[in-house]
Amino acid sequence: MARRVTKAVFPVAGMGTRFLPATKSIPKEILTLVDRPLIQYAIDEARAAGITDFIFVTARGKYALEDYFDRVPELEATLRRAGKNDLLEILRATNMESGAIAYVRQHKAMGLGHAVWCARRLIGDEPFAVMLPDDVIAAEKPCLQQMVEAHAGTGGSMVAAMEVAPDKASAYGILDVGEDKGPLVTARGMVEKPAPGTAPSNLAVIGRYILTPQVLENLSRIKPSAGGELQLTDAIAMEIAAGRPVHGFRFHGERFDCGSKAGFLQATVAFALARPDLRDEFGAFLRTATAMRMAAQ
């Protein structure tokens, strides 16, 4: 039986260049889907999976992200006085216990692998999750919870996986699939951003991981690879090479790549249409806007 996963690392030190100029002053993770910052979706998913220790790997200029998790007593008092209990509840649901979040700095954006390595002293000798907040997953049972449940049976390292179109494979880490057991596959290898036409499968890794502490040790030994960055994929691939178990997990749910503008817009539309308070008005707008566009063509 695998040890319970209670710590999660949130690497949020990237520069978010695809959202310039907004990301000059707003961390990407604070951009909102409807009215909730991307990071809130990730935190809620982590909490549902039983995570109690949240480790943020941040960088210069990410103050808004740290401030977001502070309590705002004046605002709470004002809402209480005004009897706005519904808003008070929304605010309270975002409150974090004091000391639940730790921040470490990545002094230079050297890649995702390096960002995770920066958290090594806070993890110790236990399995831990890594969550990339720009991958937002709409799912009945939150994705990390699905993974934690599957991991209890497999142990080792596990990555969230989904099928992608062959011409998109070079944008992802791709699994070389060994045994395919439905939602679970054993990984025979893993390659980050394979050159077009060389991907070992079309099963891509997306931003949810459960990793063993050995991966942290591997991270201290890897060299820059794809994009000149220190890649988490390479440290996980070392586990496979050492004969230790790495599984891909096909999660149930819809993943949105909110690190890209198109993915962010798709998520905005999907999440707005899922909201009872917005779906009628927004749905009507979308239908009209689409009809007008088709008429104009």
Q: Can you give the binding site for ligand UTP, defined by CB under 6 A? A: 11-18, 28, 57, 106, 109-112, 114-115, 132-134, 259
Report the residue number, 185 or 207, with the smaller CB distance to ligand UTP: 207
Classify residue 25 as exposed, middle or buried by CB count within 10 Å of its CB (0-12, 13-18, 19+): exposed
Query: Quick one: 76 or 229, whose CB is closer to ligand UTP?
Result: 229
57 vs 205, beta carbon nearer ligand UTP: 57
Minimum Å gap between C-beta 82 and ligand UTP is: 37
Nearer to ligand UTP, 150 or 192 (CB): 192
Nearer to ligand UTP by Cβ, of 16 and 127: the residue is 16
Minimum distance between the CB of residue 262 and ligand UTP, rounded to whole angstroms?
13
Residue nearest to ligand UTP (CB): 14
Shortest CB 75 distance to ligand UTP, Å: 28
Tell me the closest approach of the beta carbon of residue 61 to ligand UTP, in angstroms.
Answer: 12
What token pair was written down for 160?
């969230």
147 closest CA partner among 46, 40, 259, 257: 46
Cβ closest to ligand UTP, residue 111 vs residue 156: 111
| H-type alpha helices, the chain | 38-48, 63-68, 73-81, 85-92, 112-117, 143-154, 213-219, 232-241, 261-273, 279-296
The DSSP 8-state label assigned to residue 260 in this structure reads S
Q: Using an 8 Å Cβ cutoff, are 175 and 281 in contact? A: no
CA distance 183 to 169: 19
Nearest-approach distance from CB 290 to ligand UTP, in angstroms: 28
- Please choose, from the candidates 197, 118, 194, 148, the residue with its C-alpha nearest in 3D space to the C-alpha of residue 45: 148
Burial of residue 12 (number of CB atoms within 10 Å: 0-12, 13-18, 19+): buried
CB of 115 to ligand UTP, least distance (A): 3
